[in-house]
Chain A
Amino acid sequence: MNPDATLLRVLNVSARYGSIPVLRRVSFHVRTGEIVALIGANGAGKSTLLKVVSGMHPATDGEVLFAGEAIQGGAPERIVRKGLVQVPEARQLFPSLTVMENLELGGYVHGRRYVREHTEQWFELFPALAARRRQRAGTLSGGEQQMLSLARALMAKPKLLVLDEPSLGLAPLIVAEIYRNLAALRQQGLTILLVEQNALGALQLADRGYALEAGRVLLAGSAAELLQHDDIRRAYLGKDYRHKWEK
């Protein structure tokens, strides 16, 4: 595949919850091999946008093209088979199943043999999980659950990994570890689309970013540009900066 090719193209996507518009004609793209971050405040529409991309929420308008093929309106399972796999917000593991069983479920679309052959690969990336493979997922720490959730998504053989708030509710050290894992996956050629309220972390990891506000994309640029951007710094990079700014 051409490394500069556009893997995901979202074009003019609108979506609503009931009569309330949540996304207003949103367009963005992700090239093969990139990490792209969508940042924005609570309620900006980031998670809905990911759900539309993954087929879990209907778009009222627009197109989602994955590897050049229109996927909007398709069943989530078919979208996963094509290689677009989402790690949901709040992990959504099966708490009463073991780590191993959760992983196996991640790869079920590719058959038992695939699952048998590939589970160990992800234990290498997440050694903390290897030690707990027989432990129930519900008993893991928040960080371990996030890693399991990530590993489960990787079992589905993604071409594009979509993550919704992977740092949510985690201690900074754990977040740093998860970001290190994501950077390692990107080194292996995985393309990643990331939604984060933790804009600083997301932009330090990403190649490019888009800033959403009230269902509209307002700004895009390289992550380095956005990290230096006054509006981004004021809006998302924390209280300290805001205090300095407003002085």
Chain B
Amino acid sequence: MAPNRDGESRDQVRLGQLEQLQMLLNRAYLNVDFYRRRMDRLGLQPEDIATFEDFRRFPFTTSGDLAAHYPYGLFAVPLKSVVRLKITHSRDGSPVVVGFTRRDIQLWQNLMARLYTQLGVTDRDIVQVAYNYSLFPGAFTFNHAAEQIGATLAPSAMTSATLQLKIMQDFRSTVLATTPSFAVHILSTLKAARNGRIGQVKSDLRLLLLGPEPVPDETRKLLHDGLQAEVHGLYGVSEMIEPGIAGECRAGSGYHLAEEHFLAEIVHPVSGQPVPAGQEGELVITTLAAEAYPLIRYRTGDVTVLRETPCACGRGGARLGEILRRTDDRLSIRGIPCYPAQIGNILRGLDPSISDFRLLVHRRFGLGDHLDILVARADGRRLAADSRGADLDQMRSTLRRVLGFGARLQIVAAADLPAPGLIEKTVFLDP
């Protein structure tokens, strides 16, 4: 087996993980009531975990657990040791707060710096970071890590695609970090520009870093051909860190996992039992190094494959495959995650007479592009005027504010709602 990036054999890596795991369990047992109660109920003490097999006795932590202990119930350090808070959502839309100590921040930043380096980014590069910072605080990690390796940072946030292209051209950006959806939008704008509307756009771009949503193959090819740049994905979990848990190398055959900080298991989504090596299942992650917000056997909801075969880049170590799908009904619209239950809660909160709704997801190049929400009211009111009414505008505005993206909202008669089940439409448009 090829050694990992630190020249360690597979056995050494696993022993290092076990060492870290025991420390994590000790800290969780001493400092987090939730984990201590769980262990006590099972008659477990941290010292009962001597092997990875023993560790499988430990129950999973779910998104619901995180929401149930909002805000600080799962913190393992006092607030005075926490230097950053990040809000995210559980699968029903309930808020979840993740905390980071100074050391957490530094570790995750180092991981991102390592991912940059692994992709050949140096102090000669100009890194343009085009994310919505409030919806994706992971963008800060892109920024700080770029500065750490001495690259020139251009945080272009969510300015228009036209301005992004101007920045890219004028600043001579060589690296663009953004969501796959926004990258497609930038490409569409670029193509329009090349057709003469805002003149010829020259680009020094050589590397596109995409996350947090997975990058479908067709999108990857489209962006690679359109922007003439290498395209690489990064993997993160918003309840832990994003990006930085895993990232592609230039060989592009999977996401190298930062194994010294994260223990990955692949389990059957229903039984929770480990699946045979190389088979797909739900990714379960334990944050070995996290201090403020340790997560033990956290069900990520992402279905993938874990490979331990050597990569074409020459390194060993575990790699994640592409995220194939979710175990839950999470949607991603222009890179922003949301859940049907969350949308239902928002709608009913705004108008208790709403009895049912359907979501219509329009996809473009395999990515959620926009969302239609069809709503039926219990009293059957369905007038054309409703669709233009002030209350509907109010609902649209609230949805935009809470979800982070605008959705088309339409009130229809209950009888006109499509059959239950998520509806997806693929929109074929030339980008």
CB proximity to A under 8 Å, residues B89-144: 101-103, 106
Chain A residues with CB below 8 A from B45, complex form: 24
Give A234's nearest chain B residue, CB to CB. Answer: B81
Residue in B22, B47, B102 whose beta carbon sits within 8 Å of that of A230 in the complex: B102
Stretch at the interface among A75-83, A126-134, A183-191, A216-224: A216-224
A228 adjacent to B102 (CB under 8 Å): yes
Q: Does A124 contact B (CB under 8 A)?
A: no
Residue in B16, B22, B77 whose beta carbon sits within 8 Å of that of A217 in the complex: B22
CB proximity to B under 8 Å, residues A1-46: 4, 6, 9, 11-12, 14, 24-29
B19 adjacent to A24 (CB under 8 Å): no
Q: Does A69 contact B (CB under 8 A)?
A: no
Chain A residues with CB below 8 A from B101, complex form: 230
Q: Does A231 contact B (CB under 8 A)?
A: yes
Cβ-Cβ contact count across A and B, 8 Å cutoff: 63
B20 → chain A, closest Cβ, in Å?
7
Q: Does A225 contact B (CB under 8 A)?
A: yes
B19 adjacent to A28 (CB under 8 Å): yes
A19 → chain B, closest Cβ, in Å?
16
Known: A4-B8, A14-B47. A225 touches B19 (CB 8 A): no
Residue in A25, A220, A228, A230 whose beta carbon sits within 8 Å of that of B50 in the complex: A25
Report A35-77 CB contacts with B as 1/0, cut-off 8 Å. 0000000000000000000000000011000000000000000
A216 adjacent to B103 (CB under 8 Å): no
Q: Does A229 contact B (CB under 8 A)?
A: yes
The secondary-structure label for the interface of chain B is: helix
A16 → chain B, closest Cβ, in Å?
12
B19 adjacent to A220 (CB under 8 Å): yes
CB proximity to A under 8 Å, residues B50-102: 50, 77, 80-81, 101-102
Give B289's nearest chain A residue, CB to CB. Answer: A221
Known: A24-B47, A218-B26, A231-B81. A6 touches B12 (CB 8 A): yes
Chain B residues with CB below 8 A from A25, complex form: 22, 46-50
Task: Report how far A228 CA is from B103 CA in the complex, Å.
Answer: 9
How many residues in B have their beta carbons less than 8 Å from beta carbons of A? 27
Residue in A4, A6, A12, A220 whose beta carbon sits within 8 Å of that of B20 in the complex: A220
Chain A residues with CB below 8 A from B323, complex form: none
B19 adjacent to A27 (CB under 8 Å): yes
Give B26's nearest chain A residue, CB to CB. Answer: A216
Task: Report how far A11 CA is from B15 CA in the complex, Å.
Answer: 8
Q: Does B277 contact A (CB under 8 A)?
A: no
CB proximity to B under 8 Å, residues A213-247: 213, 216-221, 225, 228-231
B19 adjacent to A29 (CB under 8 Å): yes
Q: Does B422 contact A (CB under 8 A)?
A: no
Task: Report how far A28 CA is from B16 CA in the complex, Å.
Answer: 8
Task: Report how far A214 CA is from B237 CA in the complex, Å.
Answer: 33
Give B7's nearest chain A residue, CB to CB. Answer: A4
Chain B residues with CB below 8 A from A228, complex form: 102-103
Q: Does B18 contact A (CB under 8 A)?
A: yes
Known: A11-B15, A12-B50. A218 touches B102 (CB 8 A): no
Chain B residues with CB below 8 A from A220, complex form: 19-20, 23
Give B81's nearest chain A residue, CB to CB. Answer: A230
A100 → chain B, closest Cβ, in Å?
42
Chain B residues with CB below 8 A from A9, complex form: 15
B174 → chain A, closest Cβ, in Å?
31
Chain A residues with CB below 8 A from B46, complex form: 24-25, 216
Report B17-43 CB contacts with A as 1/0, cut-off 8 Å. 011101100110010000000000000
B7 adjacent to A27 (CB under 8 Å): no
Task: Report how far A219 CA is from B19 CA in the complex, Å.
Answer: 10
Q: Does B6 contact A (CB under 8 A)?
A: yes
B103 adjacent to A229 (CB under 8 Å): yes
B151 → chain A, closest Cβ, in Å?
23
A59 → chain B, closest Cβ, in Å?
13
B47 adjacent to A216 (CB under 8 Å): yes
B27 adjacent to A219 (CB under 8 Å): yes
B27 adjacent to A221 (CB under 8 Å): no
B55 → chain A, closest Cβ, in Å?
12
Chain A residues with CB below 8 A from B20, complex form: 220
A218 adjacent to B27 (CB under 8 Å): yes
B15 adjacent to A29 (CB under 8 Å): yes
A102 → chain B, closest Cβ, in Å?
37
A27 adjacent to B18 (CB under 8 Å): yes
Most buried by B among A6, A14, A27, A219: A27
Task: Report how far A225 CA is from B261 CA in the complex, Å.
Answer: 15
Residue in A4, A12, A216 whose beta carbon sits within 8 Å of that of B6 in the complex: A4
Give B82's nearest chain A residue, CB to CB. Answer: A230
CB proximity to B under 8 Å, residues A172-226: 213, 216-221, 225
Could you pull out 13 A-B pairs where Cβ atoms are within 8 angstroms?
A: A4-B8, A11-B18, A12-B22, A24-B47, A25-B22, A25-B46, A29-B15, A213-B30, A216-B22, A216-B47, A217-B22, A220-B19, A225-B103
Residues of A whose CB lies within 8 Å of any CB of B are 4, 6, 9, 11-12, 14, 24-29, 61-62, 213, 216-221, 225, 228-231
User: Which 7 A/B pairs are nearest by Cβ-Cβ distance?
Assistant: A25-B47, A24-B47, A216-B26, A27-B19, A12-B50, A230-B81, A4-B7
Other than the given A25-B22, A27-B15, A220-B23, 8 more pairs (CB < 8 A) read: A24-B47, A27-B18, A27-B19, A29-B15, A29-B16, A216-B46, A217-B22, A217-B23
